[in-house]
Amino acid sequence: MLFQLSEEQLMIRQAARDFAEHELKPGVIERDEKQKFPAEQVAKLGELGFLGMMVSEQYGGSGLDALSYVLVMEELSKIDASASVVVSVNNSLVCYGLEAYGSEFQKEKYLVPLASGQQIGAFCLSEPEAGSDATSQHTTAEDKGDYYLLNGTKNWITNGGTASTYLVIAQTHPELKHKGINAFIVEKGMEGFSVGPKENKMGIRGSDTHSLMFDDVKVPKENRIGEDGFGFKFAMKTLEGGRIGIAAQALGIAAGAYELALAYAKQRKSFGKPISDHQVIAFKLADMATQIEAARMLVYKAAWLKDQGLSYTLAGSMAKLYASKVAMDVTVEAVQVHGGYGFVKEYHVERLMRDAKITQIYEGTSEIQQLVISREILR
Ligand code: CAA
* β-pair partners for 168: 124, 184
| C-beta separation of 200 from 225 below 8 A | no
* Mutation pick for ligand 1 pocket among 239, 305, 355, 375 (CB with most ligand atoms within 8 Å): 239
* Mutation pick for ligand 1 pocket among 87, 93, 167, 178 (CB with most ligand atoms within 8 Å): 178
Give me ligand 1 centre to Cα 320, in Å.
15
**Integer Cα distance of 214 and 244 in angstroms:** 30
Between the CA of residue 311 and those of 31, 146, 254, what are the distances in Å?
38, 36, 26
| C-beta separation of 54 from 61 below 8 A | yes
Query: 272 Cβ partners below 8 Å, 6+ apart?
Result: none
Active-site choice (7, 187, 363, 367) = 363
Which residues surround ligand 1 with Cβ inside 6 Å?
89, 123, 125-126, 132, 134-135, 157-158, 178, 232-233, 236-237, 239-240, 313, 362-364, 368, 371-372
Give me ligand 1 centre to Cα 364, in Å.
9
| Protein residue closest via CA to atom 40 of ligand 1 | 132
Is there a common fold for 7-120 and 122-231?
A: no
Give the nearest ligand 1 atom to 93 CA. Answer: 51
Per-residue pLDDT tens, the chain, 379 aa: give them. 889 999 999 999 999 999 999 999 999 999 999 999 999 999 999 999 999 999 999 999 999 999 999 999 999 999 999 999 999 999 999 999 999 999 999 999 999 999 999 999 999 999 998 889 989 999 999 999 999 999 999 999 999 999 999 999 999 999 999 999 999 999 999 999 999 999 999 999 999 999 999 999 999 999 999 999 999 999 999 999 999 999 999 999 999 999 999 999 999 999 999 999 999 999 999 999 999 999 999 999 999 999 999 999 999 999 999 999 999 999 999 999 999 999 999 999 999 999 999 999 999 999 999 999 999 999 9
**CATH 1.20.140.10 applies to domain 122-231:** no
**Integer Cα distance of 357 and 350 in angstroms:** 12
Annotated domain spans of the chain: 7-120, 122-231, 239-378
Give me ligand 1 centre to Cα 369, in Å.
11
Architecture (CATH level 2) of domain 7-120: Orthogonal Bundle (1.10)
| Protein residue closest via CA to atom 22 of ligand 1 | 178
Sign of the dihedral through C-alpha 263, 67, 81, 206? positive
* Mutation pick for ligand 1 pocket among 176, 178, 236, 246 (CB with most ligand atoms within 8 Å): 236
Give me ligand 1 centre to Cα 200, in Å.
28
Is the pTM value of this prediction over 0.85?
Answer: yes
Please confirm, yes or no, whether 108 is among the known catalytic residues: no
Give me ligand 1 centre to Cα 312, in Å.
14
For domain 239-378, give the CATH superfamily.
Answer: Butyryl-CoA Dehydrogenase, subunit A, domain 3 (1.20.140.10)
SS (H, E, C) the chain: CCCCCCHHHHHHHHHHHHHHHHHHCCCHHHHHHHCCCCHHHHHHHHHCCCCCCCCCHHHCCCCCCHHHHHHHHHHHHHHCHHHHHHHHHHHHHHHHHHHHHCCHHHHHHHHHHHHCCCCCEEEECCECCECCCCCCCCCEEEECCCEEEEEEEEEEEECCCCCCEEEEEEECCHHHHHHHEEEEEEECCCCCEEEEEECCCCCCCCCCEEEEEEEEEEEEHHHEECCCCCHHHHHHHHHHHHHHHHHHHHHHHHHHHHHHHHHHHHHCEECCEEHHHCHHHHHHHHHHHHHHHHHHHHHHHHHHHHHCCCCCHHHHHHHHHHHHHHHHHHHHHHHHHHHHHHHCHHHCHHHHHHHHHHCCCCCCCHHHHHHHHHHHHHC
Give me ligand 1 centre to Cα 236, in Å.
5
